[in-house]
C-alpha cells in the first residue's frame, strides 16, 4: 500500500523557446512526494532539476520558458490552475524553497531579523512583537550562535554556512508542508555541508514536512532521501527507493553517478567523472540520450529512444531491461 502523496507531478513538460531552438528542459516528468518523506532528485548539470522545482513553484521565467503540459497536484489540487495571487499565498507558506546561493535570495540591505519577521508578517496573522519572538526562536532552532546579536546583522556579516542557516530558518518559519532544497550545500565546505544536511533531517522529523532535495551528488541523497529520481537530459531515467538504488542501480547512468560519490580522504584532483558530457538540446541523439556515453550500448540504443519501463516495481529508462535488448545479438 502506498503512503499518502503530498505532491504528485504528472507528465510535466517545461520548454524554453530560444533562438537556437526548443529546449525541452523538463520532458514528461512524473513523480510523487509522500507526506513526511524526502525525495532526492539527482543528475548532472543541465539535466532539468532546477527547472522541475521552479515549475512546481511556478517561478519559471516566462518567456522564454513555459509549462507546456502536465499536472502538479499539491494536496490533490492542480497548482497549474491557480491564479498568481493564489500561488503567492502557497509559496512561502505551504511550499518553501532554499536556493543554492543564499545571497541571491537574501536582501543585502536589510538585517537578517527584518527579513525573517517580514516573511512571517506576510503569511501569518501575528503582531510585530510575536514575529520577532518567532524569528529568534527560528534562529535558535537552526543553531545560529548569539541569535539576538545576529538578528540585527546584515547578510554580508555572516559566513556562507550561517547565511544558509538563515535561509533555512526563513523557509521554515511558516511551517511549510513541502521544502524544496536546490543544491543547498554545494557552495559550502564538507563539514558545514554535513551539518546543514543533519539540520534539514532534524527539522523534517520535528515538523513532519516533506522535502525535495536536489543535488548532483548521490552521496547527499544517501544521507537524506527516502526515494530517488535520477534525471538525464530533461527526462527521468530511474526511480526507486534510496535503498534499492544503492543496493542495485539499474541504469548505467546511475551506476556512473555512484562511482562519482566523493570518498573520504580521496584526492580531490582525481575525483572520477562520467566520461563525455550531457548532450546539448540542439544536438540530442536520436536514440537514448545517454547512449554516446554508455559502455553497454547496443545498436538499438542508437536507433530508438527508450521508454520508462517497470522492473520489479521500479522504473528505469533503458533497453537492457526490455525484450528488444535480449533479442539483439
Q: Which does 88 bind (CB under 5 to 8 A by kind): Mg ion, ligand ATP, none?
A: none
C-alpha cell, 171: 523557509
In the range 49-78, which residues lie near Mg ion by CB under 5 A? 50
Q: To the nearest whole angstrom, how small is the minimum distance from the Cβ of residue 24 to ligand ATP?
A: 8
Residue among 8, 62, 61 nearest 212 (CA) = 8
- Cβ proximity of 209 and 97 under 8 Å: no
For ligand ATP, give the closer residue by CB, 25 or 115: 25
For ligand ATP, give the closer residue by CB, 25 or 185: 25
Q: Which does 51 bind (CB under 5 to 8 A by kind): ligand ATP, Mg ion, none?
A: ligand ATP
- Cβ proximity of 200 and 168 under 8 Å: yes
**With binding defined as CB under 5 A, does residue 173 bind Mg ion?**
no
Q: To the nearest whole angstrom, how small is the minimum distance from the Cβ of residue 54 to Mg ion?
A: 9
Burial 113-136 (b: 16+ CB within 10 A, else e): bbbbbebbeebeeeeeeebbebbb
Q: To the nearest whole angstrom, how small is the minimum distance from the Cβ of residue 1 to ligand ATP?
A: 32
- Cβ proximity of 172 and 98 under 8 Å: no
- Any residues with CB less than 8 A from the CB of 44 and at least 6 apart, and which? 216, 232, 257, 274, 278
For Mg ion, give the closer residue by CB, 53 or 173: 53
For ligand ATP, give the closer residue by CB, 40 or 46: 46
- Cβ proximity of 58 and 49 under 8 Å: no
Chain residues binding ligand ATP by CB under 6 A are 16, 18, 23, 25, 43, 45-51, 61, 64-65, 216, 281
Q: To the nearest whole angstrom, how small is the minimum distance from the Cβ of residue 279 to Mg ion?
A: 17
For Mg ion, give the closer residue by CB, 50 or 115: 50
DSSP state of 281: G
Q: By the criterion CB under 5 A, which residues form the site for Mg ion? A: 50
Amino acid at each position: 500500500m502506498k503512503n499518502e502523496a503530498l505532491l504528485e507531478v504528472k507528465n510535466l513538460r517545461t520548454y524554453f523557446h530560444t533562438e537556437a531552438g526548443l529546449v525541452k528542459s523538463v520532458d514528461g516528468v512524473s513523480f510523487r512526494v509522500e507526506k513526511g518523506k524526502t525525495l532526492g532528485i539527482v543528475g548532472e548539470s543541465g539535466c532539468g532539476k532546477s527547472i522541475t522545482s521552479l515549475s512546481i513553484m511556478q517561478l519559471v521565467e516566462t518567456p522564454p520558458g513555459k509549462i507546456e503540459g502536465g499536472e502538479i497536484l499539491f494536496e490533490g489540487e492542480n497548482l497549474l490552475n491557480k491564479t498568481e495571487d493564489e500561488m503567492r499565498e502557497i509559496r512561502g507558506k505551504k511550499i518553501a524553497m532554499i536556493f543554492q546561493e543564499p545571497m541571491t535570495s537574501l536582501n543585502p540591505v536589510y538585517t537578517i531579523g527584518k527579513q525573517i519577521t517580514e516573511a512571517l508578517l506576510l503569511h501569518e496573522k501575528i503582531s510585530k512583537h510575536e514575529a520577532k519572538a518567532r524569528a529568534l526562536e527560528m534562529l535558535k532552532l537552526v543553531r545560529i550562535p548569539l541569535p539576538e546579536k545576529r538578528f540585527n546583522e546584515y547578510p554580508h556579516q555572516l559566513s556562507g554556512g550561517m547565511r544558509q542557516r538563515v535561509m533555512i530558518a526563513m523557509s521554515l518559519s511558516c511551517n511549510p508542508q513541502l521544502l524544496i532544497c536546490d543544491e543547498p550545500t554545494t557552495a559550502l565546505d564538507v563539514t558545514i555541508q554535513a551539518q546543514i544536511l543533519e539540520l534539514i533531517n532534524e527539522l523534517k522529523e520535528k515538523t513532519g514536512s516533506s522535502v525535495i532535495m536536489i543535488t548532483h551528488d548521490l552521496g547527499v541523497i544517501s544521507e537524506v532521501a527516502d526515494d530517488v529520481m535520477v534525471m538525464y537530459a530533461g527526462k527521468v531515467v530511474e526511480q526507486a527507493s534510496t535503498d534499492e538504488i544503492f543496493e542495485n542501480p539499474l541504469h548505467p547512468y546511475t551506476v556512473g553517478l555512484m562511482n562519482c560519490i566523493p570518498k573520504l580522504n580521496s584526492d580531490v584532483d582525481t575525483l572520477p567523472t562520467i566520461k563525455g558530457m550531457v548532450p546539448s538540446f540542439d544536438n540530442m541523439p536520436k536514440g537514448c540520450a545517454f547512449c554516446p556515453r554508455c559502455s553497454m550500448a547496443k545498436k538499438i540504443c542508437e536507433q530508438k529512444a527508450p521508454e520508462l519501463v517497470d522492473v520489479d516495481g521500479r522504473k528505469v529508462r533503458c533497453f537492457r531491461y526490455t525484450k528488444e535488448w535480449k533479442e539483439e545479438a
